[in-house]
Structure 1
Amino acid sequence: MIGNLVFHIGDPKNGSSSIQQAMQQRACHCETVSYVCQEELNASAMAYAIDPKRRAEKEQGKKRRKLLFSQKADWARSHEADLGLISAEFFSAVPPKALIKALEEFMPQYTETARIVAYVRPHAGRALSGYAQRVKTGTELCTLDESIEGQKKRRMLKYAQRFLRWQNKFGDRFTLRPFLRSEMRDGDVVADFFETVLQGAPFRLDPISSTNESLSLEEVAAMRRVQRRLVADGVPEFMRLSLGGAIGRALAATPGRYRTKMALSRAHAEALKTLFVEDAEQLDQSFFGRPLMVGELNAAIEKGLLQGQSLEPLDYYPETQLWRLERIAGDIARLVNAQPRGWRLEYQRRIGQRLDRIEDQKDTEVLRENATRVWALLDELIAELLPPKAAAAE
């Protein structure tokens, strides 16, 4: 049986994908502490199952919760290791008491010993990267100006009270690390994560490929058009999220793409400081003992652009190329709406998020054909997201 569990709970946009890829690849080698990782790429399904905001149907939610935590209990019993690592960035939005209750019910041996590790990205950087991520996955299609104005209502960047709830429930078994290169081991979140999890035991890391790489400014602008078409054609949010993830992964491996980094204007940074300076002060006082988060808010203002960047697709792509993007997005929408299990199941299998295969499903040939056609269209879409000259050469 596993000796103890460590839950990595995010936050989102804090290197979770890289950590999970390193876990899945067993990239960390330690001679003094043995560990085993979750079989799936991430444990998001577990996090969703105990999130009261996501359990729309109470009875169905209870069944899902029982199934997933029972499976993880079986996993813990079937392995001999000092540590079991479970990672899902969406645990960070779950009430800590919901995780404790699930442990008490399904894995009581870990209730008093389980450890929690979280990372927190400074407010300004998180607001920017979160916006780009939401555009990529189709959950936000407004301008950056509108997104920052909307931060007044968002709760995820109100860090202090949320992380204090975890600390109050888990005490010194909760560790919050700043997502800052200057503060992380070797300036790398993967190295820092294993340093934290292994509590200083010596280890070495195999290199891992870049994952969940941020989109460029130009790509974010174009994705607003792509995702707007998917929304207009009735593609559900969970499917838009997977399509955005696939596009991002493909672009990360594509040469000749746009490379302009998104940046905040000085006005954006000043607005974010006004919104979050009190939270930053509380976070620094409660967890870091020095002005890390406040300092980053000030630095964002100093580095801010005098004029904001354009997110108008026509500033980077000709209308004919944008029209082709929308047409391809429309073709993708028809296919995934017709067979929601086809391409998405294959995508989740490819990235290790689920272990079953199309071959395990009914209508195997229909699903496989659907997936093949969607992949081909995604290749076309990636080509159209390249700069006009590069796209024309494809």
Structure 2
Amino acid sequence: MTCELVFHLGDRKTGSTSIQKTLTDGLWNSDSRSLYYTANGHNGPLAHALATGANPDNIQQRFTSLGQRLARHAADADVAVVSSEGFEDVAPKTLKLALEAYLPDYADAVRLIAYVRPHGARVLSGYSEQVKRGQSVGSLESYFSEGMALGRFDAFPRLSEWREVFGDAFTLRPMIRDGLYQDCVVQDFMRYALQSEDFSLSWQPDANPSLCAQDIAVLRDIHQRLDGAGVTPAQAGYLGSAIGEQMAEHPIPNGQRLHLPADLAEQVIAGCKQDAEALDRMFFDATPMSDALNALKGAGDTPAAPGPDAARIAGLMGAWLGRL
């Protein structure tokens, strides 16, 4: 028996880790539906092989291995799931051709889902991630300006291609809490994958921890000091990610959320308006992306700077790390 195959495509920063933890650890139950998860953690290596496309043998090997796991474990399941936020970098046609070549029995039994963050949230999360990894030590305004020039915040061209290639088998969901089933992306995904509400979770997924504005300012200070201390970008990225994870796990009490300053919010609205409208027209019955964008009006605050103690700690850490 060939069960249905569901691809969870990300996007990044849309709760993928919580979905993957739920599936890997079996933190759900259903009396009427069964699911086989094809990975221990995530299917990142398969997504990476497709995204790079440089080694056809590697792609074939990954899909052969996936096919063998499906044959051994999925025969009695209602649905099998492949999940990686790395699919954000994969061309839809590449995945379709691979399915037809290596998993032909599943080519017509596939469904795909992705979650997309509103544009303002995408700007903020992208900036936070780049600062954490030391890939950007400039201002939020300069990050947005550079991103607009590169088309970094235009989601429609990429996501519309999934619909063009896979048709109605591709579903896009807005990553807006009150628009998700039970206000939870894990619950929302499980309902989509199982095509049923007859399930429960045995844990309470945490919201993706995000760095507060003060922590981001500290990380910028650290990376600015590392920049001239002979630390390689790879080393700085590893250190920044490790420090950022600890900051997120041990947040500052009453830390200020990173917001778009009012002037920048107006630029985001103007720059992303057409993309939001295009997403709404193609994928949604209402206008969630445009509504989220327009909600940025007048809601901006100036990002917080680190206090003197935080700045001192950043200086000491930067000097110490630079000597490693």
Query: Counterparts of 2:21 and 2:45 in 1: how far apart (Å)?
Result: 17
Query: Counterparts of 1:212 and 1:40 in 2: how far apart (Å)?
Result: 20
Shift of 1:23: 1.8
- Structure-2 change in CA distance of 1:4 and 1:20 (3 Å): same
- Structure-2 change in CA distance of 1:32 and 1:144 (3 Å): same
Residue 71 of structure 2 is aligned with which of 77, 101, 106? 77
Query: Counterparts of 2:320 and 2:119 in 1: how far apart (Å)?
Result: 36
Give the match's secondary structure for 1:6. Answer: strand
Q: Residue in 2 aligned with 1:166? A: 162
Query: Counterparts of 1:230 and 1:106 in 2: how far apart (Å)?
Result: 46
Which 10-residue stretch deviates more, 265-274 or 41-50? Answer: 41-50
Shift of 1:278: 0.7
Mapped pair 1:327 → 2:319: yes
- Structure-2 change in CA distance of 1:320 and 1:253 (3 Å): closer
CA contact (8 A) 1:27 1:207 kept: yes
CA contact (8 A) 2:7 2:83 kept: yes
Q: Residue in 2 aligned with 1:35? A: 35
Mapped pair 1:103 → 2:99: yes
Q: Residue in 2 aligned with 1:64? A: 58
Listed as ranges, the gaps of 5+ residues in structure 2 are none
CA contact (8 A) 1:8 1:118 kept: yes
Query: Counterparts of 2:149 and 2:322 in 1: how far apart (Å)?
Result: 32
Q: For 1:230-309, list aligned pairs within 5 A.
A: 233-237=230-234, 241-254=237-250, 259-305=255-301, 308-309=302-303
Query: Counterparts of 1:131 and 1:159 in 2: how far apart (Å)?
Result: 16
Aligned partner of 1:10: which letter? Answer: G
Query: Counterparts of 2:240 and 2:19 in 1: how far apart (Å)?
Result: 20
Q: Residue in 1 aligned with 2:187? A: 191
Give the match's secondary structure for 1:277. Answer: helix
CA contact (8 A) 1:2 1:84 kept: no
CA contact (8 A) 2:2 2:105 kept: no
CA contact (8 A) 1:213 1:248 kept: no
Q: Residue in 2 aligned with 1:353? A: none
CA contact (8 A) 2:154 2:272 kept: yes
Give the match's secondary structure for 1:280. Answer: helix
Q: For 1:66-215, list aligned pairs within 5 A.
A: 66-80=60-74, 81-208=77-204, 210=206, 212-215=208-211
TM score, norm. by length of structure 1? 0.75
In the TM superposition, what whole-angstrom CA distance separates every residue of 1:88-111 from its partner, at most 9, and x where no partner exists?
A: 112123110011122122222111
Shift of 1:256: 5.2
Shift of 1:321: 1.6
Shift of 1:295: 1.2
- Structure-2 change in CA distance of 1:77 and 1:216 (3 Å): same
Q: For 1:220-235, list aligned pairs within 5 A.
A: 220-228=216-224, 233-235=230-232
Query: Counterparts of 1:261 and 1:164 in 2: how far apart (Å)?
Result: 32
CA contact (8 A) 2:3 2:109 kept: no
Give the match's secondary structure for 1:273. Answer: helix
Give the match's secondary structure for 1:317. Answer: helix
Which 10-residue stretch deviates more, 319-328 or 268-277? Answer: 319-328
- Structure-2 change in CA distance of 1:173 and 1:125 (3 Å): same
Listed as ranges, the gaps of 5+ residues in structure 1 are 335-394
Aligned partner of 1:317: which letter? Answer: D
- Structure-2 change in CA distance of 1:22 and 1:155 (3 Å): farther
- Structure-2 change in CA distance of 1:303 and 1:101 (3 Å): same
Q: Which structure is richer in relative contact order (CA contacts within 8 A, separation 6 or more)?
A: 2
Mapped pair 1:19 → 2:36: no
Shift of 1:30: 1.5
Shift of 1:242: 4.9
- Structure-2 change in CA distance of 1:45 and 1:234 (3 Å): farther
**Identity between Structure 1 and Structure 2 (%):** 31
Aligned partner of 1:49: which letter? Answer: A
- Structure-2 change in CA distance of 1:322 and 1:234 (3 Å): closer
Query: Counterparts of 2:146 and 2:39 in 1: how far apart (Å)?
Result: 37
CA contact (8 A) 1:251 1:257 kept: no
Give the match's secondary structure for 1:152. Answer: helix
RMSD: 2.4
Give the match's secondary structure for 1:302. Answer: coil
Shift of 1:16: 1.5
Shift of 1:250: 2.9
Aligned partner of 2:68: which letter? Answer: D
Query: Counterparts of 1:283 and 1:318 in 2: how far apart (Å)?
Result: 41
